Amino acid sequence: MDEKLLTILHQVKERQDELIDLLETLIRFKTPAPPARNTEDAQKFVTEFLQEKGFCIDKWDVYPGDPNVVGLLKGTDPEQHKSLIINGHMDVAEVSEDEEWETDPFTPIIRDGKVIGRGAADMKGGLAGALFAIQLLHEAGIKLPGDLTFQSVIGEEVGEAGTLECCKRGYTADFAVVVDTSDLHIQGQGGVITGWITVKSKKTYHDATRRNMIHAGGKLHAASTIEKMAKIIQGLQELERHWAVMKSYPGYPPGTNTINPAVIEGGRHAAFIADECRLWITVHFYPDETYEQVSKEIEEHILAVAKGDPWLRENPPTFEWGGTSMIEDRGEIFPSLEVDSVHPAVHTLMNSHECILNEKAIVDVSPTVTDGGWFSDAGIPAAIYGPGDLQNAHAVNEQVSIEQLVSYTQVLLKFIYQWCHTQK
Q: How far apart are CA 12 and CA 1, in angstroms?
A: 16
Q: Give 381-409 pLDDT, tens digit per residue.
A: 999 999 999 999 999 999 999 999 999 99
| Residue 179 one-letter amino acid | V
pLDDT one-digit tens code per residue, 27-60: 999 999 999 999 999 999 999 999 999 999 999 9
List, in sequence order, every beta strand (DSSP E) within 190-233. 191-200
Give start and end residues of each alpha helix (H) in 111-222: 125-139, 162-168, 210-214
What's the per-residue H, E or C state across 80-145?
CECCEEEEEECCEECCCCCCCCCCCCCCCEEECCEEECCCHHHHHHHHHHHHHHHHHHHHCCCCCC
Q: Residue 33: CA atoms inside 13 Å, Cβ hemisphere, count?
A: 28
Q: Taking Cα atoms as reference points, which of 332, 202, 226 lies closest to residue 278?
A: 226
Q: Is the pLDDT of residue 1 over 80?
A: no
191-321 CATH choice from 2.30.30.790, 3.30.70.360, 3.30.70.990, 3.50.50.60 = 3.30.70.360
CATH of 3-189+337-420, one of 3.40.50.300, 3.40.630.10, 3.50.50.60, 3.40.250.10: 3.40.630.10
Q: What percent of the chain has pLDDT over 70?
A: 100
Active site residues: 91, 156
- Report the pLDDT value the prediction gives residue 34, as an integer from 0 to 100: 97
224-238: pLDDT as tens digits? 999 999 999 999 999
**pLDDT for the residue 169:** 98
Instruction: Say yes or no to pLDDT of 379 above 90.
Output: yes
Give the confidence band of 107 by pLDDT, cuts at 50, 70, 90: very high
Buried-state track 77-102, b at ≥16 Cβ within 10 A, e below 16: ebeebbbbbbbbbbbbbebeeeeeee
Structural domain spans, the chain: 3-189+337-420, 191-321
pLDDT in tens, 58-70: 999 999 999 999 9
Report how far Cα 231 is from the mean position of its chain's Cα atoms: 32
Beta bridge mates, 116: 109, 399
What per-residue confidence (pLDDT) applies to 102? Answer: 93
Phi and psi for 152 in degrees, rounded to 5?
Answer: -105, 105
